[in-house]
Structure formats: structure tokens, C-alpha cells
Amino acid sequence: MSMTSQIISHAASKASALAALAQSGAASEPTAPTFWMPTGASTIAGGVDHTLDVINWICYVFFALILVLMVYFVVKYRHRKGERFRTDFPHHNTPLEVTWSIIPTIIVIGIFVVGFRSYLDIYTAPKNAFDIKVTAQKWAWNFQYPNGATSDDLYVPAGRPVRLILRSSDVLHSLYIPDFRVKRDIVPGRYTYAWFQCDYPSGQPGKSPRDPNAKKVEGPEDPAQVYNLHCTEYCGTGHSKMNRYVYVLDEASFSQWMIDQSQWLDKIPEEELFFKAGPKIFARCQQCHSLDGTKGIGPSWQGIVERVKAYPNVGEGKKYGTWEDYVRTSILVPGDYVVPTYGNVMPSFKGQLNDKAIDAVIGYMEHLSDFDPKTGKYLKADAAK
Amino acid sequence: MSQTIASTHTQHGAEAHGHGHDGHAHGDHGHAHDPNLAHHFDSLQQQFDSAKLGIWLFLATEVLFFGGLFVAYAILRMSHPEIFSYASHYLDTVMGGINTCVLILSSVTMAMAVRFAQTNRRGGLIACLILTFMGAIGFLIIKYFEYSHKIHDNLVWGPSFYVPPHDAEGDAEAKMLKTAPAAPGAAIVVNNPATFAIPDLAAKPAVDASAVKPASVGPTGVARASGAPAPAPAAEPAPGHSEEAHPGTHLEDKAMPPNTHLFFAIYYAMTGLHGIHVVAGMGVLAWLTWRAIRGDFSSKNFTAVDTGGLYWHIVDLIWIFLFPLFYLIH
Amino acid sequence: MTTIPLPSSGPVRDTIEARPEGDNYLTHTRGLFSWIFTLDHKRIGVMYMWSVLGAFLLGGIFALLVRTELLTPGPTITEDANTYNQWFTLHGAIMVFLVIIPSIPAALGNIILPVMLGAKDVAFPRLNLFSYYLWVTGAILCIASLAMGGFDTGWTFYTPYSTTTTAGGVIPVLTAAFVLGFSSIFTGLNFVVTVHKLRPPGMTWFRMPLFLWALYATAIIQVLATPVLGITLLLLIVERTVNIGIFNPAMGGDPVLYQHFFWFYSHPAVYIMILPAMGIISEIIAVNSHRSIFGYRFIAFSSIAIAMFSFIVWGHHMFTSGQSALLNTLFSAISFSVAIPSAVKVFNWIATLYKGSVSLTTPMWYALAFLFLFTIGGLTGLHLATLSTDVHLHDTYFVVAHFHYVMMGSALIAMIGGLHHWWPKIFGRMYDERLGTIACWIIFIGFNVTFFTQFILGAKGMPRRYYDYQPEFQVYHVISTIGSYTMAFGFVLTAVSLFGSFFTGRKAPANPWGGRSLEWQCASPPPFDNFAKAPRVGDCYDFSVVHWDEKTGGYWVDESADPEVNPGAGGAKAAH
């Protein structure tokens, strides 16, 4: 029994240390990946990992105890053929049964308390958190920043609590950043919240958060430090393709990024919009729309301009005036026009693609022959430079 | 405590009866057994007790089955109290009250039927079973009138709630949901039918309004006395609908809270499921009546009447909860 | 008070001799219709058994397809993520609704419960047959749903995805699950009434073997919880067909309401799966240790306690769904309370091995495997009941591993152990012990390789229901898939061992393992009416009066020495 009381006091002391750690919000280095857990890069990750350690050790002890006793008894009391059955066994032993009911009860209460305290930190966002709006839809993410910038990946400032305001356009999704130990379901029709704080900004060359000893992770922007962001509530065909990166930038870089991101479309001259911005935006559309005629979840864009212009409803009783109107409405209110044999499954991009972005898409469609039908990349890239 | 050999085990017939099953006989003996006693029971009392426990357990499952809907009602009511206080006025309390009395009376006749079966009074038994059956029919008839009025006024669940009545063709635009125009010959199909199946209730032929009173005509309206002039129709009469046009509907009412269709969704779900159970009960009653006419029941064997009666009582009991929740509280 | 005098020579029971040679419930009447319209609980149970095993094969094939696809990130055997989604959905739906929930109660329970109780049949044999045909209807509807377009919603059918997906097989499978629910309800109803009303004189509650306690507790859950699933599925069907909007936020409804309804049933459902399994383990361990179960009353009471507690913890499936912290806290705390009775049962079983006389038969190997796997499964439940760790682990492979450890590694393993334990009784044949034991070990090793790796996968952040995954997870998936093929091979060997008994197995004696419960007091296979004369109810865990009989190759029970049966006897039982 003394071993058990040692475990309890060990757990209790760890619990209070953990609580102190969680509440201090101390800046932390990402922890290295362990046998069980990935790197821990947020301020609450330490608390969660610690809770897991407490539970794990209790489990190891009890499992070993049960396994050893089981094997020992089976070997020691093995029945040999012809022997009489033993009759000197106890039928029950009330003090023992009471003890082994009470001790696990105390242990699980301890586990509950440890878990509860670290949970409160996960649940409650600090007051000075930086808000980022997140829209989840089948099958992509869109992150909207206070200055109007939107992004497909999540960029966050280091050293500040970040609160995500989550909403879904269609079905249940769930935002999960394993390295931050953050997860929250996204329920259509309401807002849910999640928060985290990561103190370890990018720009530290040669260090990968996934394994400090491994080589750099190649991301789309190729920074040194990326974390994965997943959808973890089943949402259909593209559920496993909703993976994006989280980039943690120091304050100065982050402010600059926000400004650049909000203006990236504005800075591009009109006539270059379609090849400088088009492919980037098309990367989202590519999930459902192909360029080479392959039927996907949505109609292929091959020959789209001619098709739209030739629709029977253009003319008397037409619902859209120009083919650009059709594209614009399809992006903002997709349910209004659904091509026969396709389902009404396209999400709305209102708030995610502004007018210039839509112009870029329209220009992209107009100049489709300039782009590789398989990859969507601009074929005249060298000339454009 | 030592075990006695249960002498009752030796009371049963040796042969399997010709039921097409492989029997449960227990060795040879000479005693005849009651034809009502199944082979796997030791005594009629045990058989009866088992049947009673069985039906009570079944009633528990019914309570839990409806319980889910009651919980849904409670949750909807808690989160949208304005919908319930508004929309409950559309229900005709008088009709609901009559239905309640009809069902309670039918429970009384059912209990009497059980008593008659227990006391070997076959005539009374048959009469009471038939009376109970008539009560069920009466309940369903009144329900039919209630439902048909509501359906006529499009006081129904889901998107149809937002389709103005008598507007079968043309541009009926849903208020809450995007219901695109179903223009004939359109190459573009709007709203995937699999996701938004809109029942075609707007095109249903209107009920002959002169035969029955309309249930209600507005949020404060109670059943209008027949003969009173209906207010002028607000919707333009569509060609082909010549009977008295209904007055301004719920859609015109500015006081109607959003999502009022939820009230009718839960109303139809609960009363509809209850109605299905009433129909099933009618089947049970018919079967009992037929068996009673055949002379199956006696003071020794009235189990089926008793258990069927218990089922009928729970059908009644569920209605007794539904009635105040929908019709009485506002 | 009177005792049947036993013949002074030889131990053979007169009840067993009373039957003509070869006449048992399998042979008493012949022909297809005697099976289709049977009211004999044993035949109904046998039909359930083959049906459930067939469904297990189908669900297992889908599992192997899933695991094969996951060998590589990206497409492996299918280009289409939608196909993969249908595979895992079907695997889950078939296994949960068609296999695990009915398996022990409907297959083994139907055959064994009345015999073990000392009754002639269940209380309502026609309802029993009707339950079976409801199962068949559900299975047919499930197959039909495949033909009508399949479904890809996950077995949990979360809204709004399940109400908006265009897959054509959703409504048929919802109907199938609805029908299967009623099959389960009626089986439970039958068992509750049977245990209450059809106990023979002398079979008091605390004389009942623990398998019956377990089946009784399970039956209570079946009766009370399954109707809620029924109404939930009905609401889903209505939502899909006429769009009432109760789960649709655009129409004022709430998607999370569905989750509450669904888990209110589905959490008690997992106890429907595990409680009978625990009952089987109690029987196997007691019989094969040849000693009474340690702490009988506690195990009996804990079955009821688990059944009751199971109704109040459903919210622990929804910790990240956005429900309030208060609700999360309550559900987490109560969930821990359910862990305690289960843990103490494990301690009781281990204590039953103490000073026993342990025979390592194939069922005993399965029971030991159960102890190992259930301990891991139960302990990892602690990780998931703890709020902060669950935030990280929810909807990852950690959960997948946890529930496979408890549903497959515990419930299914116990069922297969029970199959081996009662196979001689049911079919009158002994299977090949050595092959059976080897198969058990292969399944055990394969299982751990498959699913322990998934704990690591999940903790490292791999989400569930993923067709495609990060490349760094591939090594774990390859290991897991290799384990799954190993397991499949083990199951094939088990099938060979069991079915081979029909061809090469020796005839089984009435009591091959030395059991004391009543099913061992009749012939193997039992006669059509179970017992010619009422069996005497003694202490079903007193093995001191059990003796080996070399002639029959089985055991016999010397009841004249059992003071509970024969009060004049001194008895060889140890005093309490």
C-alpha cells in the first residue's frame, strides 16, 4: 500500500506544480516529441502532457500488477491431470474487496482533479486574446483577420493568446492542432471558441517543431516552423484533405504579414491579376473543379466561358445578365444555379473572396488556355516576370 | 436449503401439439393439461404473471420511445418559448378536449372489458371491446379534421410552412430557405431534391371548406362559427381554386416568430406517432374482439384482454400528456 | 427433501440415459421448416449464431479493406475517398448493429440462458423467433442499402452531414438499424421476464450463475435504452425525407441535439456489448479454475450498477462539441465512477485464479486474453474520461484503439471464448484444443499489433476517418495493417478448429470441463426439452464434488456429496 500512497502524493504534487505552470502562462520552448505525444508548442501543452503522464504511470503500474499476478497465479496454481481440485481457497474477503474498491476510487478522483484543472485552462481564453475568425466548410479552411486579411493557412502572433472564433458553413467540422493540444468542434449555426498561445516563433533556422533533430519541414511558404492543422470531425469525401499549416510569427513579422496579406490583391495590377492571383485562388477550387474536363464534385472549368454563355436561360427569362454575373453568383450564392447532374454542395465564399479575388477568378477562366490543365500553373510564368 | 423436485414439472402433456415446432414435453405422465397453458410454463399463474411483466416492460419501452420526443419538445420549448406561445393558438382546444374525453372513455370501456372477461361475461366483453374500438375511430376522425385543416392552411412542418396556400404554380418563394423557381423546361436544376425535399402540399386540392369549420384563421383566432363571413383573401386567388379563399395566413402575420415551423414539426411528430399507435391499438382491439366472439376468453384465460387493455391505457396516457403540452399551455 | 438415489455403481445420470441415442434438439425434428418455424430457444440461438458470424465475416472484410487502403498515404486500392468512407462506415455499422450487440445475448444467451436457469424455454418463444426474423430483416435492409447507393456517414450518422449527404443508402440503413433495435428490445424483454418468472424452485437470485446476472443486466439496458435509439433514427429519417429541421441550424434546429439523442442510447449500448462478455468470463474462469468465483455478490451487484450508471455518462462522447464546461465536468466525473465496478471485477477474476486449479483450455486462454485486453481497454478509458487529455485525443486513432480494445478485444474475444466453452454442449463435438489455442494466440498477438500501434498514432495526432494522412504516420499504419492480417488468419484458424469439429471432433461428454451450472447436467447436445426431470439446483460454483470420468472423457457431479442438494451429506466443500 505504501507504493500507492507514494503514487498519490506524487500525483498530488505534480498536480499542484502543473496548476502553477498552467496559470503562469510562462513562455515555453516546444517540447520534443515523446513516445506518445508530438511536440508540445503551446502554453497549455505542458499541462496536458503532464496529465497524460500521470495517467500513464498509474496505468502502467496497475497493468503490470494485474499481468504479473495473472501469470503468476496461472503458473503457480496450474492443475495437473489427476490431481484433486484445491478447496482451500477464500470465497471472498470483505476487507480486501473494500480496499480495492476504495483505492481506485481515490486514484480516479485524483486523475479527475488533475485533468479538470488543466482543462479549465484549455477552456477559458484569456481576456486579451487576439481574435481570428475561422470559417470551416467542405473541405477547406478560411481564416479572417481583424484588418480584413484572409488566408487559407493560419498565421498567428507568437507570445500572445490567440482566440479562434469558429463557424461552419455547412456540416460539422472540428479544428485540431495536435502540437498545441487544441481541439474544438465547429457546429453550423453557432459560434464556438478555441484558444491557444504559442511562444515559439518561426524564423529559427534549422529547427523543425515536429522533431528538433530532424531536417526542416518544407511548407508551402517554406518557413522553419510549421504546425499541422486538421479537420477531425468527419465531413465527407474531402475530410482527410482539409490539412493546413499553422505559422507562428513574431510580433513584427506578424503585423507586417497582416498588412501584406490584406493588400496582396490590391497591389497586383488589374491586368496581371489573373496569373498572379488566379492560380493561388484556384488552389482552393481545385478540390472540386478540374481544368482538363475530368468530372469532379463540381463541373470542370474546361470551356466554361463558352458553356455559360450558351446556356438556354441567357436570353428571355434569363436569370443572369452576363457570364461574369453567373460566376460571381456561383461563388457568393452557389445554390442559385446548379448545373444538372451535380449536387447543391458548393459552399459560399462570401467573406472569403472579395471583389478583386472574384475578378481574378473570372480572369483566370477567361485565360484558361494559359494555364496547365493538370496543375493549374501559369504556363507563361517566365514571360510574366 | 435443499432443492425439492418441483412436482409441477410433471404435469405437462408428453406429445408436442401439432404447432409445427419441436415441442417442450417432459416425459410421460398421465395428466391432461389446460389447452391454454403453454408447454414451457409450469402453471397458468406463472404464464399470466409472465405476460403481465412482459407487457409492463413493453410499456416501459413505449414510454422511453415517446420520451425522446418529449425531451425534444422540452428542449425546443426552452430554447424557443416564443414559438410555442405563438403557435399553440393555432390548435383547436375544443377538438383536442373532445379527443381527450373520447380516449378516456375508451379506456373506461376497455377496463370494463377486462372486468367482463374476468367474470366470464362474454356479451359484455364483446360490447365493450367494440365500444373501445369505436372510441379509437372517433379519435382518429377528429384528428383527421384537425390535420386536414392545418394542412390546408399549410400549418405544417418544414419548408412547406412557408409556401402560401393555393399557390401551386409559379413563383412561390420560400421565406426562410432558398426555394428556387421551378420554371418548366429549365436546364438548371435548383436545390438538390435529396437535400431539400419539399412536399408538394401547395398543389393539394383544397378541402371543401363548407363542410367543416376552419380550425383557426390567425394567431388569436379560435374556430370561426360556420356561416360567418371569412375575411377578404389577402393572397391573389390562383386560377382554378373557386371555393372560399382563405384569409391572410400565418405568413402575413408580422407577429409570427421565425422558425415557427418547428412547433408544427414537433406537433405532427408527436401526435402522428401517437396516431400510429392508436391505429395499432385498433388492430389489437379487432383481434381481441374476434377472439372474444370465438369464445377464447374466460375467467381462467383473460390474459390477452388484460395485456391489450394495458397497451390501450398507455396510448391514452400518452395523449393525456400530449394534450396539455400542446393545446392547453401557451 | 427427497433425493433421487444414484446408482451405486457408475456415475452416469439417469436423465441422460432417458433419451434415445442420438436424439437431441438438433435431431429431434428434421427438415427446413422445423428450423424456420422453430420455437426452440436453442435452435433460434443457433440460427442467430450462424447469422452473426456471417455478418462478422462481412464486417471483417470491410475492415481489411480499410486497413489495406491505409497501407500508404494517398490512394492505395481505391482512388476514391468516398469509397473508403463507405468502407469504414459499413464496417462500423455492421459490426455494431449486426454483430456485437446481438452476438452474446441473442446467440449464446438464447441457447444457454434457459438451460442454465433450469427452465424449459424463454418466457415468450414466439417473440424470440420474431426477434430473430427482425434481425434478418435488418440485415437484408442493410444489404439493400448497399445496393441503393451505399452510405458514407460514419456509423454515428452525425447531423447535418447525414441529413444532407446525397448517398442513397442512408434511409435504408437507418430503417435497418431501427428494425434491429426492436430485435434487441424484444430479446431483452424476453430475458428479463424469463429470469424473473421462469426460475425453477430453488434457483434463487443468488444461486444464479453470473452469466445469468450479466444477461439480466444487459437485458435491462436493452429494454430501456434501445427505444431512444429508435426515436432518434426515426427523427433522422423524417429529417431526411421531409426536412422538419429539428437538426438543421438553418431552420432553427440544433445538430448537437442529435448527438445527445444518439449517445444517450449508444453509450448504454456499449455496456450491452461488454456486460454479457463479463458474464462469460466469470463462467470460464470459475470452471477452468475449478473453484468458486471470488466475490460472487460483488460481481452480481456490479453488473447491475454498471447497467444503471451507463445511462448517465453519455456526454463524455461530446466533450469538444461545444457544450458547457459544467456539463463536461459532470460527465467526466460520473464517467470515472463507471470505471470502478469494472476494475473491481478484474480484481475479482484475478483473485479467482488464486488457489484455484487452473486448466489451460482454449476457453481459458481466451479468458486470460480478455483480462489482458480489457485491462488495457479500460485503463485507456481513463485517458478519455479525463477532460484535458480528451481534448487532445478525441476523434483520433486513440479512441479507435480504445474502443477496439473493449469492443473487439474484450467483448468479441469473450464471445469466441464462450463459443469454445459451450461448443461441446451446443453441437456435441469437441474441437481441436491445440489448434484452438494456437488460433487464440495468433488472434491475441495480431490484435495487439493492430491496435496498440493505433494508440500511438492517435496520441501523435492522427485524426479518425482519414483516407489520406501525413507521411510520417505511415510506418504505424503498416504495422497496424500487418497485425490485422495476422488477426484475420487467426480467425480463419479458429473457424477451421470449430467447424472441423463437425468432421473430426470426438463426441462430447455431457460435462467436458467440469462445470456445475445446470447446462452441464444435461447431455451434449441437450435434448429438445432441456431436462427430462427438473434438475436440482445446487451451488453452481462448488467444484469440490466434480470428478473426472475417464470412460466418458468428461466430468461428473456427485450430487449426493453436495450439501445444498443433499442436506444429509457432509460435503467436501471448504467452509466459508
| Least CB–CB distance from B178: residue in A312, A319, A335 | A335
pLDDT of residue C115: 94
pLDDT at position B246 over 50: no
Distances (CA, A) of A315 to A339, B177, B205: 18, 27, 35
Q: Is A374 exposed, middle or buried (0-12, 13-18, 19+ CB in 10 A)?
A: exposed
Q: B-contacting residues of A 277-336, CB under 8 Å?
A: 311-313, 317, 319, 333, 335-336
CA distance C173 to C284: 36
Sign of the torsion angle spanned by Cα atoms C393, C399, C400, C402: positive
Cβ contacts of C539 within 8 Å, gap of 6 or more:
C207, C292, C516, C562, C564, C573
pLDDT at position B263 over 50: yes
Q: Minimal Cα distance from B181: which residue of A? A: A336
CB atoms within 10 A of CB C406: 22
pLDDT of residue A7: 52
Q: Is A108 exposed, middle or buried (0-12, 13-18, 19+ CB in 10 A)?
A: buried
Q: Minimal Cα distance from C457: which residue of A? A: A36
Q: If you average pLDDT over every residue of chain A, what do you get?
A: 82
CA distance C274 to C293: 19
Cβ contacts of A287 within 8 Å, gap of 6 or more:
A139, A140, A238, A241, A296, A297
How near does any CA of chain A get to the CA of B155, in Å? 25
| B115-130 residues labelled b (16+ CB within 10 A) or e (exposed) | bbbbeebeeebbbbbb
Residue A210 contacts C where some CB pair is shorter than 8 Å? yes
CA distance C307 to C552: 41
pLDDT of residue A346: 83
How near does any CA of chain B get to the CA of C368, in Å? 35
CA distance C25 to B144: 52
Chains A & C: contacts with CB separation below 8 Å: 270
Of residues B328, B267, B219, B276, the one with CA closest to residue B62:
B276
* Under-50 pLDDT residues of chain C: 1-17, 571-576
Angle at A184 between CA A178 and CA A188, to 5 degrees: 140
pLDDT band for position A190 (cuts 50, 70, 90): very high
Higher-scoring residue by pLDDT: C553, B325: B325
Q: Do B186 and A339 touch (CB under 8 A)?
A: no
pLDDT of residue B223: 32
pLDDT of residue A234: 95
How near does any CA of chain C get to the CA of A270, in Å? 38
pLDDT of residue A204: 43
Pairing of strands A182-186, A173-177: antiparallel
Grid coordinates in use for C467?
483516407
Percent of chain A whose pLDDT exceeds 90: 36
How near does any CA of chain B get to the CA of C265, in Å? 11
pLDDT of residue B234: 37
Residues of B in contact with A333 (CB under 8 A): 178
How near does any CA of chain A get to the CA of C12, in Å? 20
CA distance B300 to B176: 62
CA distance B143 to B319: 12
pLDDT at position A295 over 90: no
Q: Do C295 and A231 touch (CB under 8 A)?
A: no
- pLDDT-wise least confident of A113-127, B20-34, C39-53, C142-156: B20-34
Location of C-alpha cell 438415489: C5
pLDDT of residue B162: 82
pLDDT at position A113 over 50: yes
Tens-place pLDDT, residues A310-365: 765 443 444 677 888 888 888 888 877 777 777 777 888 888 888 889 999 999 99
Tens-place pLDDT, residues B145-186: 999 999 888 888 888 888 776 654 444 444 434 443 433 433
- DSSP H or E segment with residue B163: none
CA distance B31 to B43: 13
Q: Do C325 and A123 touch (CB under 8 A)?
A: yes
Q: Do B188 and A335 touch (CB under 8 A)?
A: no
Distances (CA, A) of A363 to A270, A271, A276, A357, A370: 9, 9, 11, 10, 11
Residues of C in contact with A104 (CB under 8 A): 339-340, 343-344
Q: Do A340 and B191 touch (CB under 8 A)?
A: no
- pLDDT-wise least confident of A288-292, B177-181, B207-211, C524-528: B207-211
- pLDDT-wise least confident of A233-237, B22-26, B164-168: B22-26
How near does any CA of chain C get to the CA of A84, in Å? 8
Pairing of strands A192-197, A226-231: unpaired
Q: Do B2 and C565 touch (CB under 8 A)?
A: yes
A244-249 β-sheet, strand order: A154-157, A244-249, A226-231, A173-177, A182-186
pLDDT of residue B204: 34
pLDDT of residue C57: 97
Chains A & B: contacts with CB separation below 8 Å: 35
First to last CA, chain B: 62
What are the structural domain ranges in chain B?
44-154+259-328
Please tell me whether residue A230 adopts helix, strand or coil conformation.
strand
Q: Do A313 and B188 touch (CB under 8 A)?
A: yes
Subunits close to B (at least 3 CB pairs below 8 A)? A, C
Please tell me whether residue C351 adopts helix, strand or coil conformation.
helix
Higher-scoring residue by pLDDT: A267, C532: A267
CA distance B277 to B283: 10
Q: In terms of DSSP H, where are the helices of A25-148?
A: 45-76, 94-123
pLDDT of residue A223: 40
> CATH number for the C38-561 domain, one of 1.20.1250.20, 1.10.10.10, 3.40.50.300, 1.20.210.10?
1.20.210.10
pLDDT of residue C18: 57
Interface ipTM: 0.91
pLDDT at position A2 over 60: no
Q: How many CA atoms lie within 13 A of C446 on its CB side?
A: 22
pLDDT of residue C391: 95
pLDDT of residue A202: 61
Higher-scoring residue by pLDDT: B63, C470: B63
pTM over 0.90: no
Q: Minimal Cα distance from A233: which residue of C? A: C395
pLDDT of residue A220: 39
Query: Using an 8 Å Cβ cutoff, are B91 and B221 in contact?
Result: no
All domains of chain A, ordered by start, with CATH? 2-123 (no CATH), 130-263 (2.60.40.420), 270-384 (1.10.760.10)
pLDDT at position B1 over 50: no
Grid coordinates in use for B175?
421565406
CA distance B254 to B263: 17
Residues of B in contact with C38 (CB under 8 A): 21-22
Please tell me whether residue C240 adopts helix, strand or coil conformation.
helix
CA distance C565 to A39: 66
Grid coordinates in use for C41?
430457444
How near does any CA of chain C get to the CA of A179, in Å? 8
Chains B & C: contacts with CB separation below 8 Å: 190
B44-154+259-328: in CATH 1.20.120.80: yes
What are the structural domain ranges in chain C?
38-561
CB atoms within 10 A of CB B235: 16
| Least CB–CB distance from A338: residue in B183, B189, B194 | B189
Query: Using an 8 Å Cβ cutoff, are C471 and C73 in contact?
Result: yes
| Least CB–CB distance from B54: residue in C168, C189, C252 | C189
Residues of C in contact with A238 (CB under 8 A): 81
pLDDT at position A1 over 90: no
Grid coordinates in use for C410?
474484450
B103 backbone φψ class: left, alpha, beta (φ>0; ψ -120 to 50): alpha
